[in-house]
A and B are shown apart, each in its own frame.
Chain A
Amino acid sequence: MKISRRDLLKTAGSASVLASASPGLVFAAAPTNKRFVTIILRGGMDALTAVAPYADPNYARLRSFLSLGKPGETNGAIDLNGYFGLDPRLTALAPLYKKGELAILHAATTNYRGRSHFDGQNVLENGTPKPYGVDSGWLNRSLALMNAGEQRIGLSVGHAVPLMMRGKTDVQTWAPSALPKAEGDFLDRLMRVYESDPVFEHALKQAMKSAALSAGVTDGMGKVNARSTSLKIMAEAAGKLLTKSNGPRVAVIESGGWDTHAGQHLLLTNKLKELNEGLEALQQHLGEAWRETVIVVVSEFGRTVAANGTRGTDHGTGGLAFILGGSVKGGQIIGKWPGLDEKHQFQGRDLAPVNDYRSLFKTVLHEHLGLDEGKIEDAIFPDSRTAQMFSGLIRKV
């Protein structure tokens, strides 16, 4: 007979038991060893900077001073397939593409066609075709289909739980902190106080459970610089927690500051460096588990094809996704490509969104995590049948 933490909590009637639970307890077997990490870049990453269609005949003209040189030139693009090239600042990504562990979905977004960050992010995260269509996230709804038993299979890293990971299924949380921990008996008494308020009670229970699950794994992390919300710290914590044998398997991390209306080049130098460091930390700390990992990096929308008047770009539509990890059949650009010229632009200004993020997410949920296709259509991405899955993206072990 296995003893779950929940049973233990019920019997003991005291929350502090959680914090001191013996690591020797027997847990339910992990429902999967596959890992899936989503990184949300908030603000609208400029996809045409990250992955440049340098061989498009209109590229240099339309992107003017934002355009990269040809591969081989100073500050030239790093060639991917003779047509697309990576921005040379994305140092972490070029070797992965070569190694076949990075694929790119360009000219993609959700079905949202407005240009509001907030509505765009909401659609990206809630998984329905409408802003505020539902108040849970598609990633959280996916967890419910994974039969994880007592295991907290979801992980949210950072102080806020992104909408994508909010919902009925409880998830593990982690955030850096420099504050001293509160004593167990104080938390016990506080839990009694919280009996009058289910919202506080639930949040504290979740926090204590997460603290217990992270104990010994992320100890001391973030103490030095708790105010830093850098992707690197988050990625390191996520990597470490995801490798635990009974740890989480599906994680979300967010990164802000990608809204580059002015002076974009310099802003992106900093942001792309942060992204490199985050992805490198994630790979490093995933260790062996990298082989079974798919990481998807997305942003709510892309930006205008042409620069605006202030050396930046305004809100656009088509963006891109990086898909990386040991379980990705990389070295390929997937999906369709609309071309850059004016007649193929969306509303005469944006990269046309000819690919749908939901196609990508559905592919990962079905082929990587093994979720049932029908259930994905019904419960996770309703009204998304037009967004068809990609074949040949996930490596079958």
Chain B
Amino acid sequence: MISKDAFIAANRFGLGPLPLELGVIGKNPRGWLKRQISVEQKTPSLLQNLPKVSEIMQTYVRNRQMGNRGQNRGQGNRQSGGGQGSGGGRRSGNSFRQQQGQNYVDSVYSRTLNMIQTPAPFAEHMVKFWSNHFTVSNASRKIVGPIAVAYETDTIRPHIFGNFEDMLIAVAQHPTMLIYLDNHISMGEKSQMALNPRGGDGRARARGLNENLAREILELHTLGVNGGYTQTDVREFAKIITGWSFGGRGGGPEGPNGFRFKRWFHEPGPKTLLGRTYDSGTVNDGLDALKFLAHHPSTAKFVATKLVRHFVADDPPAAAIKKIERVFTESKGNLAKVSAALIDLEEAWQSPFSKTKTPYELVLSTYRALDIGEPDKRGILQTLSELQQFPFKASSPAGWPDVAKEWLNPETLMRRIEWTRALAAKLPRSVKPEELFADTIGAVASKQTKFWVKAAPSAEEAIALILASPEFQRR
């Protein structure tokens, strides 16, 4: 007999059951989940052969040197008559983008396929959660595609059951995040670079601060918008992380994933963030600030709220938030302990349907349930576009929304139904509705669902009804 708890473990915490997996989860759903919490996170084999960030960045930098200035060098109006960016440079830029576009498609597919096939869906669910918390996006084509997946592999995966602090630092130093939120070109107004700009080509160079990354670290990654910082803190923090960049020559030694602290970009002098002063003029100021932020009480509260919203309910119960907040604080942001505490939350096991799957979760859980081998690459990626959730395309650094009212509206629901219906029509006969029903929603289906699935005029309609049912669409 499949229990409601097995259903919750597989769907709420996992990514939907594989065929017969509910039986494996069996009588010890919490144990099944906790066994997936392992500090050693190896890169899944499907992701091992994807381009590394260093390779992608080398191509990117070489490409820029060849004359393609990329999007981050918009030309001012007054200079726009100059005819910069030779035709040759532009062409090489296009082929670069095409090549990276293909890499992007391949890497997003591998990432998705890994989540469909994984035997550790709770761990992968955590990858997805943290990757969204620390969103990078190429919705505005600001970052070159494949480094989004490389970013996740480099910064999120190793730390999902490690320390929040380590994840935060890895994220803030990764070229993908530095490009996405513009920090790689931010420099102090009194930095050497700003005072003595290099280059004699007459091109006006950027020479000052960009507060984008600093603001979003405070607002979206750590303290939260009501976490007690001011506009002055944003500016000061932006100054603290001036020089946080990648590539280039000289300066400090190259850090993980190609990070480099460029001290000639760095704003000299003391800076004060949240009452603490930083004045070493080295990379350590930024590291110390991030460590301070990682352990700030507002961060514990903000992160706990997001986790409980994700794993319990859109309107997260205060008592559950408190529990997670306490574990986060007492363990100094140990995410293995925090994850175990989420599993131990009574509130998470009370209602099997309080969350609605996002489109990505729906697609993953559908393919996990169907057992029809590897989905067609083009097809599944097109589906993700049509359902409005292509990975790494969130419209803002806040990431994808995590409440049903953002996803469950008339148009998106109809797209889900249409996709489900069309998919069911194309399935091999080996997919049997009775088996699919038992393997997925059988234990929790309403009497209406049971009746109408049984009464369906064809196997394919029965399958479509199962996949479109609220029990399958929720988690």
A residues with CB within 8 A of B: 42-43, 64-69, 74-75, 114-119, 131, 158-161, 166, 173-175, 177-183, 186-187, 189-190, 192-197, 199-200, 203-204, 206-207, 210-211, 226-227, 256-257, 259, 261-267, 307-312, 314-315, 347
Docked complex Cα distance between A197 and B445 (Å): 11
Given contacts A117-B396, A197-B470, A262-B182, contact A189 B415 (CB under 8 A): no
Q: Check A66/B421 contact, CB under 8 A, given A189-B465, A262-B72, A308-B211.
A: no
> How far, in angstroms, from A264 to B72 measured CA to CA in the complex?
8
Question: Can you give 22 A-B contacts (C-beta < 8 A)?
Answer: A69-B77, A75-B80, A160-B412, A177-B415, A179-B419, A180-B422, A181-B418, A183-B421, A193-B468, A200-B473, A206-B409, A256-B395, A257-B140, A261-B182, A261-B212, A266-B71, A308-B209, A308-B211, A309-B209, A311-B206, A314-B211, A315-B211
Q: Out of A207, A227, A263, which one reaches B414, CB within 8 Å?
A: A207
Is B201 among interface residues, defined by CB-CB distance under 8 A? no
Question: Are B417 and A310 within 8 A (Cβ)?
Answer: no
Specify which chain A residues have a CB less than 8 angstroms from the CB of B417 in the assembled complex.
182, 187, 190, 204
Tell whether A257 pairs with B139 under 8 Å between CB atoms, given A160-B412, A179-B418, A266-B74. yes
Q: Are B208 and A308 in contact, CB atoms less than 8 angstroms apart?
A: yes
Q: Which residue of A lies closest to B455 (CB)?
A: A189
Contacts of B396 in A (CB 8 A): 42-43, 117-118, 256, 259
Closest 4 CB pairs of A and B: A309-B208, A65-B76, A263-B74, A266-B74
Q: How far is the CB of B403 from chain A (nearest CB, A)?
A: 10
Task: A5 to B326: give the CA distance in the assembly, Å.
Answer: 54
User: Could you say which of A159, A160, A175, A190 contacts B468, with CB atoms under 8 Å apart?
Assistant: A190
CA distance A227 to B98 in the complex (A): 19
Nearest chain B CB to A9's CB is how many angstroms away? 16
Q: List the A side residues contacting B451 at CB < 8 Å.
A: 192
A314 touches B74 (CB 8 A): no
Do A173 and B409 touch (CB < 8 A)?
yes
Supply 12 further A-B pairs (C-beta < 8 A) apart from A160-B388, A311-B206.
Answer: A117-B396, A160-B406, A182-B414, A189-B465, A190-B417, A200-B413, A203-B408, A204-B417, A261-B181, A261-B212, A263-B72, A312-B74
Taking a contact as CB atoms under 8 Å apart, the answer to whether B456 and A159 are in contact is: no
* Set of chain B residues within 8 Å of A314, measured between Cβ atoms: 210-212, 215
B78 in contact with A67 (CB, 8 Å): yes
Complex CA–CA separation, A114 to B473 (angstroms): 37
Which residues of the partner chain B approach A256 to less than 8 Å between Cβ atoms? 139, 395-396
A64 to B77, CA, bound (A): 10
C-alpha gap A62/B186 in the complex (Å): 19
Q: How far is the CA of A94 from the CA of B404 in the complex (A)?
A: 42
Tell me how far the C-beta of B385 lies from the nearest C-beta in chain A, rounded to whole angstroms.
4
Nearest B residue to A117 via CB reads: B396
Residue pair B410, A207 in contact (C-beta under 8 Å): yes
Contact residue among B140, B461, B470, B473 (Cβ-Cβ distance under 8 Å from A196): B470
Nearest Cβ in chain A — how far from B25, in angstroms?
24
A263 to B206, CA, bound (A): 10
Which of B's residues lie within 8 Å of A, judged by CB?
A: 71-81, 139-140, 181-182, 185-187, 189, 194, 204, 206-212, 215, 219, 225, 231, 234, 353, 385-386, 388, 395-396, 398, 404-406, 408-415, 417-419, 421-422, 446-449, 451-453, 455-456, 461, 464-465, 468-470, 473-474
Alpha-carbon gap, A170 to B411, bound state (A): 13
CA distance A63 to B33 in the complex (A): 56
The distance in angstroms between the C-alpha atoms of A259 and B395, with both chains bound, is 11
> In this complex, what residue of B is CB-closest to A349?
B231
On chain B, the residues within 8 Å of A193 by CB distance are 446, 448-449, 452-453, 465, 468-470
Closest CB of chain A to B11's CB: distance in Å? 15
Taken together as a complex, chains A and B put the C-alpha atoms of A267 and B75 apart, in Å, by 10
State whether B77 touches A118 (Cβ < 8 A).
Answer: no
Say whether, besides A75-B80, A262-B72, A203 and B410 are in contact (CB < 8 Å): yes
Is the pair B210, A177 in contact by a Cβ cutoff of 8 Å?
no
Q: Check B75–A266 contact: CB distance below 8 A.
A: yes
CB proximity of A48 to chain B, nearest CB, Å: 12
By a CB distance below 8 angstroms, the chain A residues around B421 are 180, 182-183, 186
> In the complex, what's the smallest C-beta–C-beta distance from B176 to chain A, in angstroms?
15
Tell me the nearest residue of chain B to A202, going by C-beta: B410
User: Which B residues are in CB contact (< 8 Å) with A118?
Assistant: 225, 396, 398
- Residues from chain A with a CB closer than 8 A to the CB of B225 are 114, 116, 118-119, 131
Q: A310 and B78 in contact (CB under 8 A), knowing A117-B396, A256-B139?
A: no
Write out the residue numbers on chain A whose beta carbons fall within 8 Å of the beta carbon of B469: 193
Q: Which residues of chain A are within 8 angstroms of B74 by Cβ–Cβ distance?
A: 262-267, 311-312
Give the residues in chain B near A257, CB-CB below 8 Å.
139-140, 395
Q: Return chain A residues, CB-CB under 8 Å to B77.
A: 65-69, 75, 265
Closest to A49 in B: B77
A182 in contact with B71 (CB, 8 Å): no
Question: For residue A115, which residues in chain B have a CB less than 8 angstroms away from its CB?
Answer: 215, 231, 234
Distance to closest chain A CB from B61 (angstroms): 17
Give the complex CA separation of A259 and B394 in angstroms.
Answer: 14
B residues near A199, Cβ cutoff 8 Å: 404, 408, 470
Q: Are B411 and A174 in contact (CB under 8 A)?
A: yes
